[in-house]
């Protein structure tokens, strides 16, 4: 196989991303979203069970159910965002070759 002068093997490997402040900022944001979701879900559950005086809030059941639903959605979103960040951080850095270049097995 003839090698050209412009061939550079380092281009085939993806550059390592630094796991610095961007990852920490994303993790902090995911934690804050999940914590807010947990707080909303707990306050909504307390309002549904007529325990609004515990959180010094007088509201009806509709407000409690809305807070519970929003809290569960925020909690789910924060956890999924955290998991996506962790998966991207642990991704292996392999060669980025085209699948067509690999040998075919019949």
84 domain-assigned? yes
* C-alpha dist (Å) from residue 96 to 1, 33, 53, 101: 20, 34, 59, 11
Q: How many domains does the chain have?
A: 1
23 vs 41: which has the higher pLDDT: 41
Domain range spanning residue 63? 33-89
The pLDDT assigned to 62 comes to 85
47 domain-assigned? yes
pTM (2 d.p.): 0.65
Do residues 57 and 43 touch, judged by C-beta distance below 8 A? yes
66 domain-assigned? yes
Residues 6+ apart with CB under 8 A from 97: 12
As a whole-number percent, the residues of the chain with pLDDT over 90 amount to 37
The pLDDT assigned to 54 comes to 66
Q: What is the mean pLDDT of residues 65-86?
A: 94
pLDDT in tens, 37-69: 999 999 999 888 887 676 667 778 888 899 999
12 domain-assigned? no
CA distance 62 to 67: 9
């Amino acid at each position: 196989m003839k090698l050209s002068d412009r061939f550079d093997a380092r281009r085939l490997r993806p550059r390592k991303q630094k796991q610095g402040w961007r990852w920490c900022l994303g993790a902090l944001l995911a934690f804050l979203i999940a914590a807010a979701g947990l707080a909303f879900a707990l306050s909504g559950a307390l309002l549904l069970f007529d325990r609004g005086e515990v959180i010094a809030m007088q509201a009806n059941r509709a407000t409690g159910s809305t807070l519970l639903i929003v809290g569960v959605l925020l909690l789910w979103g924060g956890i999924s965002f955290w998991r996506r960040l962790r998966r991207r951080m642990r991704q292996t850095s392999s060669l980025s070759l085209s699948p067509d270049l690999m040998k075919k097995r019949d």
